[in-house]
Chain A
Amino acid sequence: MKRNVAIVGGGQTYHAARRHDVNQVEMVNEAVRRALDDAEMTIDEMDAVLLGNMEFFEGTHMTDCWMVDGSGVYGRSGLKITTGGTVGATIVCAGAHHVASGLFDRVLCIGFEKQEEGDTGAILSGVAHPLYGRSMAGAAVGYFAMMGTSYMATWGATEEHSAMVAVKARQNARKNEYAHLKLDISVQDVLNSRMLAYPIRILDMCPASNGACAMILADEKTARDRSKKPVWIRAMDTAHNEQFELDWRDVTTKRKIFSRVCAERIYKKLGVKDPAEYFDVFEIYEPATWSELVWYEDLGLCRPGEGFRLVEEGKTGIDGSIPVNPSGGVLSTNCIGASAMLRVWEAALQIRGDAGGHQVPRDVRRALSTAYGGTNWTVMIALSADRDD
């Protein structure tokens, strides 16, 4: 990037299945005000406001235009980008591009979803090609179920292992004041929960949440002058996957997989040899338990087929050697358009030491966030307390 970019503030709403007390504009505004307060800045200092959500999820065309009062973009520069579930991270990348370009010094980035207001079934089945598969859309749960059967058959993991991921997420969420599903559950509770699509049970899946996240990115001078704890964006990378060939669920595939390709590229940019050692914390986008195990392997935190050992040995717990999703992750909070931005913001909070109850008990200097959406798309963002390292 031409100019260094720092995260100088952020904020999120509390996340819940029901937010009948606010409309979408007001919910977005909650996150925006928290971000401005956190950065000790005013809306008038924002040179641009960028917004993203899962387009048309709530049945509204051009949400950016409706959100104007809440986002604070009235009279200001701005735009809307949509990339599905990855959009929150895409917006952060867009914000970084804005700042790095030299044309903007302070940029407000917003991601949100008020899932309860939309028609989840209608909109998610609309992801399938209208003339090839929409009439048979198996929904995300069927996809991740096949990933689970493939993983178990190939690597010898059991349903207990995915349940351990489910427990870790919800127990971490209990330490996060903003999280949605704060459940005091055990492996047995997960295994006893309702089966949706073998081997996926309801506690193996992310919830439908309402919520918003906002972040403020700034150039180096602003960061130095105004922020006590700037967090630097060190590298970003995006990999989308083609429309029809969705091999991620087949753990034996020999094809190039979006997640591995993207990780390889971002590690190369940073000179990362051993990601588990290089990064102090990971915030990853795991819509289902099995995908968290596959992420471990694709990110190179362990060898292929050993992901389930990491969770079994507690290595990815808050106090483990490779903490993954101390926030509770997407399994605990999924407000789609905000979910990917929450990964970045939670990673930044860890580096600042401001994560509160779910702060990782170690010196956190570097963090990696991932996003997930579309037909196997990801955006990865690497953060650091140090501008150059």
Chain B
Amino acid sequence: MGSDVHEEELISIPITVDVPYRFAAGKYLGKFLVELRDNGTFYGIRCPVCKRVQMPPRIVCAQCHVKNTEWVKLGNEGTLVGFTIMYIPLTDPTTGKPHDPPFTYGSVKLDGSDSVLDHLVNIEPDVSKIWVGMRMRVVLRPKGERIGDLSDILYFEPLEGQVQPE
């Protein structure tokens, strides 16, 4: 067995790897991000074979191996399909800014979409106050502040007047 205790000093070399990128969104995600930024609108894309509406929009339906063709405007409301309360900070690696815990994090299927979107949920972090099936709306940053990124979404918030099913 090895051990952490060594008589001699053990040397280590710290290196910060910092690689710059200029990512191109491409034809499909590019339209999605521009529409989100400029119009606050979510777009999915429908597969001509299985009819699945996919978000984010992408070139190929992985299931059917065909090009996706039909753009579909999605709702800004949807249904919660999964959730958790995060007790650890979540750091945005693109900005280095942390979201402080605890906070509610959820997975929402926007109306018209077959895909889900994970994001913050503006509900106090208490599992008794949130349930699968809850109706949610997307709350966006104001138009001038949006950059074409999922961080343009502030959070999901529940529609008013919902009662938790027994």
Contacts and interface: CB of A to CB of B under 8 A. Distances in A.
Interface of A: 14, 16, 18-22, 59, 119, 121-122, 125-126, 129-139, 141-142, 145-146, 148-150, 153, 194-200, 242-245, 249-250
Interface string B134-157: 000000000000000111000000
Say whether chain B's binding surface is mostly helix, strand, loop, or mixed: mixed
Given A142-B86, A145-B84, A244-B54, A136 B4 contact: no
Given A149-B84, A153-B132, A131 B93 contact: no
Contacts of B12: 20
B87 A133 contact: no
A148 to B, nearest CB: 8
Contacts of A19: 2
Interface residues of B, number: 45
28 contacts: A21-B2, A21-B6, A22-B2, A59-B15, A119-B17, A122-B93, A131-B23, A131-B25, A132-B33, A132-B56, A132-B150, A134-B94, A135-B95, A135-B149, A136-B150, A138-B90, A142-B86, A142-B118, A146-B84, A153-B132, A194-B87, A197-B86, A197-B87, A197-B88, A198-B84, A198-B85, A245-B54, A250-B81
Contacts of A199: 84
B2 A146 contact: no
A250 B82 contact: yes
Contacts of A131: 23, 25, 29, 33, 149
Interface of B: 1-2, 4, 6, 10, 12, 15, 17, 21, 23, 25, 29, 32-33, 54-56, 58, 62-63, 81-88, 90-95, 105, 107, 115, 118-120, 127, 132, 149-151
Nearest to A59: B17
Contacts of A135: 92-95, 149-151
A20 B6 contact: yes
Contacts of B63: 242
Nearest to A136: B150
Contacts of A130: 21, 23
A195 B93 contact: no
Nearest to A139: B90
A142 B95 contact: no
B44 to A, nearest CB: 11
Contacts of B93: 121-122, 125-126, 134-135, 137
A195 B101 CA distance: 11
B84 A133 contact: no
A32 to B, nearest CB: 16
A184 B79 CA distance: 42
Contacts of A138: 86, 90, 105, 118
A146 B82 contact: yes
- The residue in B62, B92, B107, B119 that gathers the most chain A C-beta atoms within 10 A of its C-beta is B107
B7 to A, nearest CB: 11
Contact of A136 (B15, B56, B92): B92
B118 A21 contact: no
Contacts of B15: 59
A133 B127 contact: no
A155 to B, nearest CB: 13
Contacts of B1: 14
A152 to B, nearest CB: 10
A59 to B, nearest CB: 4
B118 A197 contact: no
Given A132-B29, A197-B105, A242 B88 contact: no
A121 B119 contact: no
